[in-house]
Amino acid sequence: MTLPFRHPQNQRWCTRWVWALGLYVWLLSGTSAQAQNATLKIETWRVEDEPRWVQHILPAFSRAHPGIKVSTSITLATDYDSHLEQKLATGKAGDLIACRPFDRSLALYDKGYLQDLTAMPELRKFRSHGKVAWTTYYADRVFCIPVAAVMTGFFYNTAIFKELGLKPPQTEEEFFDVLEKVKASGKYLPLAFGTKDTWQAAQVLFAGIGPNYWNGEQGRINLLTGRAKFTDAAYVQTWQMMARLGQYLPAQHPQIGEKEARSLFLQGKAAIYPAGSWEIAYLSEPQRLKNFSVFAPPPQQIKHNCYVLSHLDIGIGINKQTSHPSHARDFLAWLSTRDFSQALANSLPGFFPLSTHPVDINNPLAREMMSWRQQCDTTIRVNSQFLNQAWPDLEHALWRVSAQVMRHEITPEDAAKLIDEGIEKWFKPI
């Protein structure tokens, strides 16, 4: 067989073409690999949680997405909102934004800083209630993926309870009976709680025990629709219980804040510590955990329905100016997975996932509080949605009057009247 003749010039051209094609493919593959690598930065105020995110949660994401690294940019909670907005306005913010619930994040979305996430199919992994803190006024747009909720309850020293022959109370009167017996012992403080940090009186006690009086979500919605007022019996009774609790505070409670109250409890000087689930990390040191348990805010009497606070605390959104939009979406999609929910629940005990995935919780305090969500109806802080937006000072007004009630500076009825007058001035029922 005769081979076809190849002109040397054509052969050289063919060789160059093959070499150029190979170089192009190599460059293309390098560019593609480079495109898969990115470092995302999260803007967050969660100073206390940052080590657990860095050491446990974010590495779990990187194992699932080896080409994407995630770092954190931490700002103190008191400065976060102003610093974040300044960064966003000047184009210096990170790719991902830790979203506070309700108004502050909504304001960022309205100003065009956060991406619209409504079309993300992963949002179907969250119940409507879990998304409400990061939706627009008419609930037609979602701008942050829900991440975690926090709860409130009454942590107690099991050794003190055993010594004094006490059991976790099931009703309000049983609760006050326990407090009276601790006080009568003369050995321990009934409550490790102060009124220096006024937010605790409102966010831990008023918001935590109130749902059993105003029937959780129903009472919250009644305020929004004008079917109820803060001067109604259910809300006044909540402040009345708080006034009674004021009789069992340490003598110097106006000088005692969250840190001092925690210290009293950890030192074994107080029997009961009213606090949020965010305190679980402090209570879970190996030498301490075996001495502590927790009970839910007791209702006035045992009834069919119970209500607990499960407040929407943190979401994560995407900075519209990110240079890595697809990678940022990959991260948000991962937040909807069971792997993330499991990592969050056990890396940050006391911060409860908002997805519908079942999770196994190792920490006994967190596991007990999580069980309340299966046994009782949940609700959020009564003023968080719409009311705060209408009356800018409502949050601080609730802090102020709740602490004053516990100090016996004003009556529960006066507190209710002051809040109701402000609501009447600022808010038009929906």
275 strand-pairing partners: 153
Which SS3 state, helix, strand or coil, does residue 364 take? helix
Is residue 397 within 8 Å of residue 322, measured between CB atoms?
A: no
Q: Which amino acid is at 65?
A: H
* Residue 36: predicted pLDDT: 60
Q: Left (φ > 0), alpha (ψ -120 to 50) or beta: where does 408 sit? A: left
Residue indicated by tokens 């949020």: 276
Could you tell me the two tokens for 224? Answer: 């929004």
Nearest-5° Cα angle at 344, 338 to 349: 135
Calculate the CA dihedral of residues 236, 238, 241, 247 and round it to 10 degrees. Answer: -90
- Whether 417 has a pLDDT exceeding 80, the answer reads yes
Could you tell me the two tokens for 323? Answer: 């240079």
352 strand-pairing partners: 149
Classify domain 150-310+379-426 by CATH architecture.
3-Layer(aba) Sandwich (3.40)
- Outline which parts of the chain fall under CATH 3.40.190.10: 39-149+311-370, 150-310+379-426
118 strand-pairing partners: none
Name the nearest CA neighbour of 135 among 143, 124, 123.
143
Per-residue pLDDT of 110-155, as tens digits, reads 999 999 999 999 999 999 899 999 999 888 999 999 999 999 999 9
Helix spans in 37-76 (H): 50-52, 58-64
Structure-model confidence comparison of residues 286 and 427, the more confident one: 427
Residue indicated by tokens 């094609």: 21
* Residue 7: predicted pLDDT: 44
Which SS3 state, helix, strand or coil, does residue 158 take? helix
Could you tell me the two tokens for 69? Answer: 């690294």
Burial of 287: CB neighbours in 10 Å, binned 0-12, 13-18, 19+: exposed
Q: Sign of dihedral through CA atoms 311, 313, 316, 320?
A: positive
Rounded alpha-carbon distances, angstroms, from residue 378 to 22, 34, 273, 336, 361:
62, 46, 21, 21, 19
CATH of domain 39-149+311-370: 3.40.190.10
Burial of 158: CB neighbours in 10 Å, binned 0-12, 13-18, 19+: middle
Rounded alpha-carbon distances, angstroms, from residue 180 to 191, 192, 247, 298:
11, 14, 10, 16
Beta strands in 285-421 (DSSP E): 292-295, 307-318, 352-353, 377-379
* Residue 27: predicted pLDDT: 36
HSE of 389, CA atoms in CB hemisphere, 13 A = 17
Could you tell me the two tokens for 373? Answer: 């969500």
d(CA 66, CA 37): 8
When pLDDT is cut at 50, 70 and 90, the band that residue 4 belongs to is: very low
Rounded alpha-carbon distances, angstroms, from residue 352 to 143, 146, 293:
20, 11, 18
- Whether 284 has a pLDDT exceeding 50, the answer reads yes
* Residue 11: predicted pLDDT: 42
Beta strands in 92-218 (DSSP E): 96-99, 145-157, 189-191
Q: What pTM value is reported for the model?
A: 0.89
* Residue 84: predicted pLDDT: 98
pLDDT over 90, % of the chain: 85
Beta strands in 59-112 (DSSP E): 68-74, 96-99
* Residue 301: predicted pLDDT: 84
Per-residue pLDDT of 329-373, as tens digits, reads 999 999 999 999 999 999 999 999 999 999 999 999 999 999 999
23: CB partners within 8 A, 6+ apart: none
Beta strands 96-99 and 307-318: pairing type? antiparallel
Per-residue pLDDT of 9-40, as tens digits, reads 444 444 344 344 343 333 333 333 334 689 99
Is residue 43 within 8 Å of residue 93, measured between CB atoms?
A: yes
* Residue 19: predicted pLDDT: 41
152 strand-pairing partners: 276
* Residue 289: predicted pLDDT: 72
* Residue 5: predicted pLDDT: 36
* Residue 12: predicted pLDDT: 43
d(CA 21, CA 62): 34
Which SS3 state, helix, strand or coil, does residue 68 take? strand
Average pLDDT, the chain: 91
Overall average pLDDT of the 1-16 stretch: 40
When pLDDT is cut at 50, 70 and 90, the band that residue 288 belongs to is: confident
Which SS3 state, helix, strand or coil, does residue 42 take? strand
Per-residue pLDDT of 174-226, as tens digits, reads 999 999 999 999 999 999 999 999 999 999 999 999 999 999 999 999 999 99
* Residue 176: predicted pLDDT: 98
